[in-house]
Amino acid sequence: MRRGVCPAVMGDLLVSLADQNVPALHPKYSILRLERHKRACLTWGRRLAKVMPFAPWIARYLPLSFETKVQLDALPRPQLAYGMFAAAMQARALGLEAITAAELGVFAGAGLRCMERYAARIEAIPDLHGVRIEVVGFDRGEGLPASDDPRDAPYWFEAGLFRVDIEVVRRSLRRARFLVGDVADTVSDFLALGLPPLGFVSFDLDYYRSTVDALRILAIPDQRLLPRVLCYFDDIFGVSDLTILGPCVGEEAAIGEWNASNPRRPLAPVTGLRHKRPFAAPWNDQYWALHLWDHPLYNVGINPLT
């Protein structure tokens, strides 16, 4: 550790740890404090990553604050926690009181239950001043639909895969709303729920066609969306060398189609996300953001340093 840098960073870390129980009086200072905390985690986390690359697994079991765990990936589904936390921060910086986080493709509900828990933890972060998070999930219950569209990669995904008992899933949920049916139909029911602006969406439907239908959730009026909606795509690349995905098949093909028909609402990769994380991970390359250039809040200043 270099002399001079260390005390400054240490100071940041101590300030952010010490401040955690009391929110700053003005949301702007709260955002500043969260930013400083993030930077301290980044600096210390990077050092830790060099000597202890498995630190996130250990940190899961340490009594750290939730925002520290989000920054260190010390949670079972860090990709979901990141998007929800970043969306809540954006909402707070814009002075909004609530957001919605959605998962498209729920299966047995493991991801959605994580989102419920993360929503409760984020709502309790003092510096977010009680920003509320509604959670909503979508699934048809019968697993993947039959398909012979090559863009769905049916050579890998089989019809009926992920079939689940919807009632069991529903009973396992604590607070999430659950829209059952084909997303081609249910995304239009979303608007009628009258939920706060959508700030985070996890797309996990495997197929190109299902993702094209699901992306219509981003075609709702401006006031029902944050100006920048964080989108996680679970199936951008498969783990197996037998699934060869890319811009012409699967989720990425659906994103390309969205961009071709929505020039004022581009979906763009969150470039360089891995450089903003102390522990770079594959999910960093699975993040896109919807930019709503015509949203009345898109150009509103949220830089806490100005």
Ligand X SMILES: C[S@@+](CC[C@H](N)C(=O)[O-])C[C@H]1O[C@@H](n2cnc3c(N)ncnc32)[C@H](O)[C@@H]1O
Query: In one letter, which amino acid is 40?
Result: A
Name residue 267's beta-bridge partners: 290
Q: How far is the CB of 42 from ligand X (least distance, A)?
A: 27
- DSSP calls for 119-133: HHHHHT-GGGTT-EE
The smaller minimum CB distance to ligand X, of residues 33 and 113, is found at: 113
300 touching ligand X, by CB under 6 A = no
Site string for ligand X, 157-196 (x = CB under 6 A): -----x-------------------xx-------------
251 touching ligand X, by CB under 6 A = no
* Binding residue for ligand X, selected from 66, 82, 107, 258, defined by CB under 6 A: 107
Order across the sheet with 132-139: list the strands. Answer: 177-180, 132-139, 98-104, 198-203, 225-233, 287-291, 267-269
287, 230 contact by CB (below 8 A): yes
Which span (85-93, 103-111, 122-130, 147-155) binds ligand X, by CB under 6 A?
103-111
243 touching ligand X, by CB under 6 A = no
* Binding residue for ligand X, selected from 143, 154, 238, 266, defined by CB under 6 A: 143
152 touching ligand X, by CB under 6 A = no
In 109-263, beta strands by DSSP E: 132-139, 177-180, 198-203, 225-233
Between CA 248 and CA 18 the distance in angstroms is 50
* Binding residue for ligand X, selected from 205, 231, 255, 273, defined by CB under 6 A: 205
Tokens matching residue 87? 């969306």
Contacting positions for ligand X (CB under 6 A): 103, 105-108, 110-111, 139-140, 143-145, 162, 182-183, 204-207, 210, 213
